[in-house]
Amino acid sequence: MSYKTYSMELAGRTLSVDIGRVAAQANGAALMHYGDTTILSTATASDKPREGIDFFPLSLEFEEKMYAVGKIPGGFNKREGKASENAVLTARVIDRPMRPLFPKDYRNDCSINNLVLAVDPECRPELLAMLGSSIATSISDIPFDGPCATTQMGLVNGEFIINPSQEQWDKGDLQLTVASTADKVIMIEAGANEIPDDVMIDCIYKCDDVNKEIIEFINKIVAEVGKPKHEYTSCAIPEEMFAKMREIVPPEEMEVAVFSDDKQTREANIAAVTEKFEEAFAENEEWLAILGEAVYQYQKKTVRKMILKDHKRPDGREITQIRPLAAEVDIIPRVHGSAMFTRGQTQICDIVTLAPLSEKQRIDGLDPYVTEKRYMHHYNFPSYSVGETKPSRGPGRREIGHGALAEKALMPVIPSEEEFPYAIRAVSETFESNGSTSQASVCASCMALMAAGVPIKKPVAGISCGLVTGETDDDYIVLTDIQGLEDFFGDMDFKVAGTPDGITAIQMDIKIHGLTRPIVEEAIRRTHEARDFILNEVMLKCIAEPRKELSAYAPKIQQIAIDPTKIGDVVGQRGKTINALIEKTGVKIDITDDGNVSVCGESQEGIDEAIRLINIIVTDFAEGQILEGEVVSIKEFGAFIEFAPGKEGMVHISKIANERINHVEDVLTLGDHVKVKCLGKDRMGRMSFSIKDAK
């Protein structure tokens, strides 16, 4: 079989692409190699559009196979199941820059699949899948206005690294992913440890420079082996239909319909307008079938014209104005921490739960360096939050993505395990939604963490900016705090979260073919100004700092350090000793390999007793030491005293009382609690104890 291989040097490693080697029946296929990391990226599309839909049915997958890292999947069913959280998030990051590059009137089913075949920890498979998706689609006959390219950047010990290894990515202070077309940045995703705005902007455009080199490489491949793009049936709304709609409902009347700060009022206005169209088009079945999409497009044209030309927002706000804000804490009893953050008609309630470190989430994936997660952030979006009646089917990709974004935003300020030995779960419940619930989740979660007594290092807030563009690159307007309508009809959702000192997370979604640098710079500046306002004027006035005490309902945890060689003494044979400690004191005990012991319980008395017993277990007996214990065995020659589970000593009959006794039972009974003194070692090297000398 003949095939072609193309290669380029990328960040000190060789990137190579095999075309025509495998998957010949796909519309486009690329076998990608970067180091030893190998991925098969394929793109396929149906011949005809899917009927009855008003969106582009793109399916994008990132398939993690455990054989890629030499593992057999865990559990009873030894095959991969549903996509992991990392796979979902990776698919979303690939989808976001590619989706705007397909024709807006294209309705053919399209599937882009990335199969991870082998993983080299020096070359992240996620990056290779992003490049492979673009190459497979670009060389296919599927209409696509690409290519696009993606570069990642890390920050380790003050050094910025292009396409870092997995370890550098996991442990560094920056996780930046930037996708670009030949001319503009089209997607940004970042997690950062308080990176200043100007530094972040420089990093974004260093990635953009690398992307331009990759695009030149892809263009050479397309020029040699790319297929002609196939013809497709356009699903655009006929212009004559728009003309008729403007006669029935003139643009100024449509402006009145959409110009409202209340979502329900606006929806009622649009419903009334739609009824007019339905009556007028009653005899035209073809137009009635696409009326919903036509009304949507009419609203979109109206809103964009109002914003761009007239600087009028649908709810009457100024371009830089944030919707009314409100914040409160402790709205839910008995939970460990709660807060509610409201921005206009967007409302998030966040609940924080604290637990022992043993409750950390275990992760079984392709990343050898991340096997558990201590801070977990989950986001829920019920249908009632937008006035709908859909049944709950569990979290979808959007919910997983929003939760991960808020988690990323707050991770840099979460205290270390040594400072705060708890597993932490924050759950953001969407009570009401009208734009940027993910960033409201950041605000609500920050306050809930402080209310729970989690000693976060700094407060974090988040906000989103939107964009409406005209015909030229310099004809645009950036909107602070976009509501749902501005998100739907606008060109950008630029989310930024951070502390007063720097950015902790970015997620940028756009619907156009990229952003110029001035737009990126203005969006980052605007979000910084808005974050500072939200923090200082709302959040910190509600709760100024983390509480010093935990909730009465939160578990109490204390940590002690023991000699690692004594861990076996605390655990005991088959866990006998530690289980006895747990049963005796009613606590939960976790021990790490380096000797850190966490004791968790509801009562301080139980924790104190467990720590006392552990200290006895790990401390060698010393002459003169006074101990208390329980009589657990009686022999003719003496009694055995248990000082702690698994820690016993023997008192000879001659050391029980000052006077001579003939039988141990004359003085001691099983279960008696006695005080003893350690006499040191006897002639045979055994520790000797005395009851009579302890009195």
pLDDT value of residue 530: 97
Provide the total of helices (H) and of strands (E) in the chain, helices listed first.
Answer: 17, 29
Of 32-36, 285-289, 547-551, the one with minimum mean pLDDT is 285-289
Which two three-digit tokens encode residue 125?
Answer: 């498979």
For 431-496, the three-class secondary structure string (H helix, E strand, C coil) is EECCCCHHHHHHHHHHHHHHHCCCCCCCCCEEEEEEEEECCCCCCEEEEECCCHHHHHHCCEEEEE
Q: What is the pLDDT of residues 472-523, one digit of tens each?
A: 999 999 999 999 889 989 999 999 999 999 999 999 999 999 999 999 999 9
- 295 CB neighbour count, 10 Å cutoff: 20
- 246-273: burial string, b at 16+ Cβ within 10 Å, e else: eeebeeeebbebbbbbebeebeebbeeb
The residue among 481, 471, 482, 483 whose CA lies nearest residue 512 is: 471
For residue 1, pLDDT beyond 70: no
Q: How far apart are CA 493 and CA 463, in angstroms?
A: 10
Q: How far apart are CA 537 and CA 520, in angstroms?
A: 26
Overall size of the chain counted in residues: 695
Q: How far apart are CA 538 and CA 178, in angstroms?
A: 32
The residue among 47, 42, 45 whose CA lies nearest residue 32 is: 42
Q: Are 498 and 507 in contact (CB under 8 A)?
A: no
pLDDT value of residue 367: 92
- 87-111: burial string, b at 16+ Cβ within 10 Å, e else: bbbbbbbbbbbbbbbbbeebbbbbb
Q: How far apart are CA 327 and CA 443, in angstroms?
A: 9
Q: What is the pLDDT of residues 370-397, one digit of tens each?
A: 999 999 999 999 999 999 998 888 899 9
The residue among 272, 268, 249 whose CA lies nearest residue 260 is: 268
Q: Are 169 and 154 in contact (CB under 8 A)?
A: yes
Contact partners, residue 15, CB within 8 Å, separation at least 6: 7, 8, 9, 32, 33, 34, 131, 217
Share the mean pLDDT of the chain: 93
For residue 230, pLDDT beyond 80: yes
Per DSSP, 539 falls in state I
Query: Which secondary-structure segment (H or E) carries 105?
Result: none
pLDDT value of residue 21: 96
For residue 685, pLDDT beyond 80: no
Query: Is residue 18 very low, low, confident or very high in pLDDT (cuts 50, 70, 90)?
Result: very high
Query: What is the rounded average pLDDT of the residues 212-221?
Result: 98
pLDDT value of residue 266: 87
Query: What is the rounded average pLDDT of the residues 42-62?
Result: 94
Distances (CA, A) of 607 to 547, 587, 611, 612, 630: 22, 6, 6, 9, 20
Q: Are 339 and 327 in contact (CB under 8 A)?
A: yes
Q: How far apart are CA 323 and CA 315, in angstroms?
A: 9
Domains of the chain: 4-149+200-225 (3.30.230.70), 239-310 (1.10.10), 325-467+517-542 (3.30.230.70), 556-618 (3.30.1370.10), 626-694 (2.40.50.140)
For residue 261, pLDDT beyond 80: no
Pairing of strands 492-499, 37-49: unpaired
Q: How far apart are CA 695 and CA 690, in angstroms?
A: 9
Q: How many CA atoms lie within 13 A of 372 on its CB side?
A: 9
Query: Which secondary-structure segment (H or E) carries 358?
Result: none
Q: How far apart are CA 391 and CA 394, in angstroms?
A: 9
Q: How far apart are CA 118 and CA 497, in angstroms?
A: 34
> Side by side, which strands form the sheet with 337-343?
325-329, 337-343, 346-355, 423-432, 375-380
Residues of the chain with pLDDT > 90, as a percent, come to 76
More confident residue, 661 or 173: 173
For residue 440, pLDDT beyond 70: yes
Query: What is the rounded average pLDDT of the residues 87-115?
Result: 97
> Side by side, which strands form the sheet with 492-499?
159-162, 149-156, 174-180, 185-195, 502-510, 492-499, 461-469, 476-480
For residue 684, pLDDT beyond 80: no
Q: What is the pLDDT of residues 293-344, one digit of tens each?
A: 999 999 999 999 999 988 999 888 999 999 999 999 999 999 999 999 999 9
Ranges assigned E (strand) in 23-85: 28-34, 37-49, 58-63
Pairing of strands 28-34, 149-156: unpaired
Going 284 to 289 to 290 to 293, the CA torsion angle's sign is: positive
Query: What is the rounded average pLDDT of the residues 348-377?
Result: 94
Contact partners, residue 252, CB within 8 Å, separation at least 6: none
pLDDT value of residue 681: 83
Q: How far apart are CA 530 and CA 680, in angstroms?
A: 70
Query: What is the rounded average pLDDT of the residues 202-217?
Result: 98
Contact partners, residue 125, CB within 8 Å, separation at least 6: 37, 39, 68, 116, 119, 366
> How far, in whole angstroms, is CA 357 from its chain's centroid?
19
Pairing of strands 423-432, 375-380: parallel
Q: How far apart are CA 88 and CA 85, in angstroms?
A: 5
Q: What is the pLDDT of residues 595-652, one digit of tens each?
A: 889 999 988 899 999 998 999 898 888 888 888 888 999 998 899 998 888 888 889 8
pLDDT value of residue 602: 86
Q: How far apart are CA 351 and CA 336, in angstroms?
A: 8
CA dihedral 441→445→446→448, nearest 10 degrees, is 140
For tokens 């959702």, the residue is 493
Q: Are 655 and 693 in contact (CB under 8 A)?
A: yes
The residue among 172, 152, 177, 158 whose CA lies nearest residue 34 is: 152
Phi, psi of 650 (to 5 degrees): -110, 135
Q: Are 557 and 358 in contact (CB under 8 A)?
A: no
For residue 260, pLDDT beyond 70: yes
